[in-house]
Every structure is written in structure tokens, then in C-alpha cells.
Amino acid sequence: MNLAGLFQGIATVAWLVFVGVIVLAFVRAGRNRPLKNATAMVLVTAAIALVSTFVAAGMVFIEPQERGVVISAISPKGYREEALEPGLRWILPFAERVELYPISRQTYTMSIAPIEGQISGDDSIAARTADGQEIYVDASIIFQIDPADVINVHIRWQDRYTNELVRAQARGVIRDAVSQYGVEEVYSTRRLDMTSQVRDQMEVKLNENGLLLVDFVLRNITFSPEYAASIEQKQIAEQMAQQAKFVVEQRRQEAEQARQVAQGRADAAVIDAKGVAEARIIEAEAEAEALAVISAIIRDNPDMLTYQYITKLSPSIQTMLLPSNSPFIFPFPELTPTATPVPSTNP
């Protein structure tokens, strides 16, 4: 419960009662019907109102997300050197007052969209790149007041730190950073570098003035209509080039696949031919060995050739007729008649 607010309410009610008692007393007196104990009632209500007002004026409740700067009429510097911490605090009534400052995180957005930023309408940051192209930057700065430096913030900026410090520094730092990069670097290859540069510079600027930078967010980059059209055409050309490159690569892969298939077929043919040749060599070697064996047999048995010849003609041929003028194609074996012994008749 906020006791300061409670006492402020009691004081307000007490002053209303005090005024009401006085009015009632005058009305009753005008009718010759004086209010009994009117003086005591007026004094009591006045005392309650004064005490409540005094207590309410000297009691301050600081929320956890706040710090209080005490402006003091009795201090030589005009303020207390220590800010009030969260909780119920006491100040000198009517001689001191408290200015509250939030230490929670705050966000300041500058955007081309009419309803996104703190300022309605187009509040983007117009900047020019190193190669002369104009761009429009949307950005958000997330920051907070340094709790240990809240008094200096009050002395230097009071409640103007958002517009006159954060906004002004952000716009200037962003323009300076953009001017160091080409337009293609800003939106592609060096965007992170530029963002880091802005963040580092903003951190230094805010720290010098009692604020802490939590984060810098580069939300969007918009180009002029002419350059946006040229970027679109370039992207279309790049996509077409990529598509053509893909088609070429596909054709190359198909050709390589066909070459590998042909190479496989050629290798298979070579292997088949090699197998046939090796088979023929083996067969020839076998035939040569067989012929060598046969030659050895014939050499040792000359009549074997005649026998084989006769056998191959036909086993059923019993008689052979030859022309009278044709020599025998092979010599017939000589047949020597065997003499049959005649039995002796001598007695």
C-alpha cells in the first residue's frame, strides 16, 4: 500500500471536513441556532488536516522501477547528492520535492511506417551512402537510465533526454555510419559491420550522458524507387544466370553420365574380348598338347594312322571300289596266306 497516497487522501478529507464544519457553523449562527462545540470541531479538523498534509508532503514512495531525485531548498547545491532508492522515503515537507525517473528499459523507434514510431508519419532516417545513393533507415534504440547517474540526467536533460539526446544522437550516428559504406554493402555484405559500428558509437554517446544502451536494432532499409527498380532487375538477371548455370551443370552431368556409361560398355567389351582371346589361347594350347601326344603315338605306332583312317570312313564298309587308274590312297596290309597242314595218309 502507498502510505504517502493514503495520508494525502486523509489530508484531503480532513480539509473538506474542516471547510464543511466552518460553513455549518456560520449557517447555524445565522439562524440563531449556534452549533454546539463548533470551535472544538473546527480546531480538531484543522489539526487533522494540517498533520495529514504535513505527513503526506514529507512521505514519498519510490517504485522498484524508479529512482527519485530530491530537489532541496535547504541544500547548497539545490539537490541531494544521492538519489532515493525504491521504498517508502521521507523528505522535508514543503522544502523538498522529488522528481521521479524510470530506470526500466525504454525503446525509441524511428520508422517509415506512420504508426510504428514515437512520431506519427514517416520518421525514417534519410542517409546517403558513400557512392551517393539515398536510403531510408528504420531503427530502434533500446536504452535505460543508469541508476547510479540519474542525478546527472536530471541536471543535464530533465525529461528531454528521449527526444533531444537519444533521437538526435541516433540520427546523426546512423547518417555518419551509412556514409562510410557503398549502397550494396549497406544492405548486403557489410550490413552487420555497419550495425556494430552504430551500436558502439551510440553506446559511447549515451554513456557520456548517463544512459545505458541495451541494444540497437536496424529494422529496415528502404531505397529510392529508381534504385529499388534497378535492384529488382539485377536480382532477376542473377536468378536467370543462376538458372542458366544450373541448366549447363545439368547438361554437363548428363554428358558425364553418358560418357561413364559408354566407358563402362567399352570396358565390358574389352573384358569380353580379353576373355575370348584367353579362352582361344587356352584352347590352342590344349590342341597343341593333344597334337603333340598324337604325334608321339603315331611316331611310335605308324599303323595307327591307317587304322584311324579306316575307322573314320565307316564301320559298315566291307568293300571299296577304286578306279583302275587310281593308285591306292594308302597301302593295304599285306596278307600272307597261311598254309593249312594236310594230314598225312601214310600208313
DSSP sequence for 27-63: HHHHTT-PPTTHHHHHHHHHHHHHHHHHHHHHEEEE-
* Residues 181-187, mean pLDDT to the nearest whole number: 87
Look at 265 and 301; give whichever has higher pLDDT: 265
Angle 245-248-254 from CA coordinates, rounded to 5° = 140
Q: Are 220 and 138 in contact (CB under 8 A)?
A: yes
* Residue where the block lists cell 577304286: 322
Q: What is the pLDDT of residue 347?
A: 44
Q: Count H helices, E strands: the chain? A: 9, 8
SS3 at position 271: helix
Q: What is the pLDDT of residue 336?
A: 46
Q: Are 86 and 63 in contact (CB under 8 A)?
A: yes
**CA nearest neighbour of 67 among 2, 1, 147:** 147
**Which residues fall within 8 angstroms of residue 126, CB to CB, at 6 or more apart?**
134, 135, 136
Cα–Cα distance for residue pair 204/176, rounded to 1 Å:
15
Confidence at 335, pLDDT banded by 50, 70, 90:
very low
169 sits in the region (left: phi over 0; alpha: psi -120 to 50; else beta) called alpha
Cα–Cα distance for residue pair 235/299, rounded to 1 Å:
94
CATH number of 106-223: 3.30.479.30
Q: What is the DSSP letter of 185?
A: I
Give the chain's mean pLDDT.
82
> For a pLDDT cut of 70, what percent of the chain falls above it?
84
Look at 245 and 167; give whichever has higher pLDDT: 167
Amino acid letter, 342 = V
Confidence at 292, pLDDT banded by 50, 70, 90:
confident
Grid cell of 87 as nine digits: 521504498
State pLDDT tens for residues 98-137: 999 999 999 999 998 888 888 888 899 999 999 888 899 9
Q: What is the pLDDT of residue 267?
A: 81
Strands 106-110 and 134-145, how do they pair? Answer: antiparallel
Query: Is residue 9 predicted with pLDDT exceeding 50?
Result: yes
Q: Is the C-alpha dihedral spanning 282, 288, 292, 297 positive or negative? A: positive
State pLDDT tens for residues 242-266: 887 888 888 888 888 888 888 888 8
Number of other residues whose CB lies within 10 A of the CB of residue 215: 13
Cα–Cα distance for residue pair 183/196, rounded to 1 Å:
17
Q: In DSSP terms, which residues pair with 87 in a beta bridge?
A: 62
**CA nearest neighbour of 198 among 221, 215, 212:** 215
Cα–Cα distance for residue pair 125/141, rounded to 1 Å:
13
Q: Is the C-alpha dihedral spanning 76, 81, 86, 87 positive or negative? A: negative
Domain boundaries in the chain? 3-101, 106-223, 237-275
Listed as own residue / partner, the contacts of 329-334 with beta carbons closer than 8 Å and 24 or more positions apart are 330/306, 331/306, 333/303, 333/306
Query: Is residue 74 predicted with pLDDT exceeding 50?
Result: yes
